[in-house]
């Protein structure tokens, strides 16, 4: 835990977040329905407001550096969560999940994501504490991921996922029809799985891939496990409501993947520079820190992250308007 923060504040934060997640889980399963736009806006605004309040508390109880690190980390994770949202949309469409039951499955997918990220946070924190050179690996991985994101998008993930689903269907008895959100049902007296199993495996696979990207990314902003975990929780909590709010709009943000790639590339370079600044590798500069390697302040990181996302979203919206205008002109001429 971060020693600069009061212990009761950290413990209280974990308790409050656990209660909120539990309430969200209960609501999703107790009242399966298709949320209205107004409901989605209210819940999304509520979770964003919670993150802002938490950031304000960080500034008061911690310091400006910790507050800035949380905001930068939260925005980074939120950006990556929106990318995650795109794949969730693809999964729901591919398996024809009834919209009424998508809330429940999304909530399970988010819980899986939280558990996976908690595991990676614990592993990552231990690696960083023991081996400072792990930043070289994290940085190189993020640079590679950024290039892959910009060039291929989600094509490789879809292909791996399809192979996994095909393997699962050949090994497990699965019905063709959904029975609500039930995982198992009975057919001709035999207990078999419903397509919910396939959807959960697809969501879990996606969560694993995104956890591998997001955890090294946020460790490039802060090494505090408390800040890393809370930033992830706040980013994921409103994801279910955001899914219904944005809907297919996410698919139309065609330049979003480039904005996210730019963020990952920046953080990857930042991690490598940080590793050079704290260098302990004996074959590099004699095991001594590389003095000319600059450190990038949190405020500059925050500006770059916000700028990358803003440019990607605005460019996508402009393209949407241009395409819509051309389509209208084409209809009028036709």
Kindly give the residue spans of alpha helices, DSSP state H, lying in 223-297: 225-237, 239-246, 249-252, 256-277
Q: Is 324 helix (H, G, I), strand (E, B) or coil?
A: helix
**Which residue range forms the structural domain that includes residue 169?**
7-333
- How high is the pLDDT of residue 51? 92
Question: Does residue 2 lie within any of the structural domains?
Answer: no
C-alpha to C-alpha distance for 209 and 70, rounded to whole angstroms = 23
Question: Does residue 149 lie within any of the structural domains?
Answer: yes
**Location of structure tokens 């996508």:** 316
- How high is the pLDDT of residue 204? 81
End-to-end CA distance of the chain: 65
The gap from C-alpha 230 to its chain's centroid, in whole angstroms, comes to 13
- Interhelix angle for 155-171 vs 196-219, to 10°? 140
- How high is the pLDDT of residue 96? 81
Average pLDDT, consecutive stretches of 10 residues, N- to C-terminus, the chain (334 residues)? 73 91 81 78 89 92 88 88 76 80 82 87 85 84 85 58 68 77 80 84 79 84 90 85 74 81 89 82 79 82 89 90 83 72
Q: Phi first, then psi: give them for residue 184, nearest 5 degrees.
A: -130, 155
C-alpha to C-alpha distance for 92 and 95, rounded to whole angstroms = 6
- Here the tokens at position 45 are 């605004």
Question: Does residue 245 lie within any of the structural domains?
Answer: yes
C-alpha to C-alpha distance for 92 and 200, rounded to whole angstroms = 10
Query: Of 208, 221, 216, which Cα lies nearest the Cα of 135?
Result: 216
pTM of the model: 0.79
Measured over the CA atoms of residue 194, residue 210, residue 119 and residue 67, the dihedral's sign is: negative
- How high is the pLDDT of residue 50? 92
Question: Does residue 103 lie within any of the structural domains?
Answer: yes
Query: Of 131, 204, 125, which Cα lies nearest the Cα of 161?
Result: 204
Domain count, the chain: 1
- How high is the pLDDT of residue 23? 85
Question: Does residue 251 lie within any of the structural domains?
Answer: yes
Residues 6+ apart with CB under 8 A from 149: 257, 260, 261, 264
């Amino acid at each position: 835990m971060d020693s600069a923060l009061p212990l009761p504040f950290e413990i209280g934060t974990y308790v409050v977040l656990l209660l909120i997640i539990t309430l969200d889980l209960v609501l999703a399963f107790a009242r399966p329905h298709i949320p209205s736009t107004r409901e989605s806006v209210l819940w999304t605004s509520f979770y964003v407001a919670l993150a802002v309040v938490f950031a304000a508390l960080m500034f008061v109880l911690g310091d400006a550096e910790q507050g800035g690190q949380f905001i930068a980390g939260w925005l980074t994770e939120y950006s990556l969560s929106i990318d995650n949202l795109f794949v969730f949309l693809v999964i729901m469409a591919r398996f024809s999940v009834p919209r009424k039951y998508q809330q429940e499955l999304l909530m399970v997918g988010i819980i899986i994501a939280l558990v996976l990220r908690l595991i990676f946070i614990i592993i990552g924190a231990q690696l960083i504490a023991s081996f400072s050179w792990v930043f070289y690996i994290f940085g190189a991985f993020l640079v590679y991921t950024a290039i892959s994101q910009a060039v291929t998008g989600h094509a490789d993930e879809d292909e791996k996922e399809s192979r996994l689903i095909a393997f699962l269907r050949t090994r497990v008895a699965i019905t063709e029809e959904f029975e609500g959100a039930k995982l198992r049902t009975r057919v001709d007296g035999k207990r078999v799985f419903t397509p919910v199993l396939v959807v959960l495996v697809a969501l879990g696979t996606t969560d694993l891939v995104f956890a591998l990207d997001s955890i090294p990314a946020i460790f490039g902003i802060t090494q505090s496990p408390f800040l890393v975990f809370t930033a992830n929780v706040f980013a994921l909590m409103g994801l279910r409501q955001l899914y219904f709010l944005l809907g297919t709009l996410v698919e139309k943000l065609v330049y979003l993947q480039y904005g996210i790639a730019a963020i990952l590339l920046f953080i990857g370079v930042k991690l490598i520079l940080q590793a050079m600044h704290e260098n302990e590798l004996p074959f590099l500069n004699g095991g001594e820190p590389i003095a000319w390697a600059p450190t990038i302040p949190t405020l500059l990181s925050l500006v770059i992250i916000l700028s990358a996302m803003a440019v990607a979203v605005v460019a996508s919206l402009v393209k949407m308007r241009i395409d819509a205008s051309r389509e209208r002109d084409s209809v009028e001429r036709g």
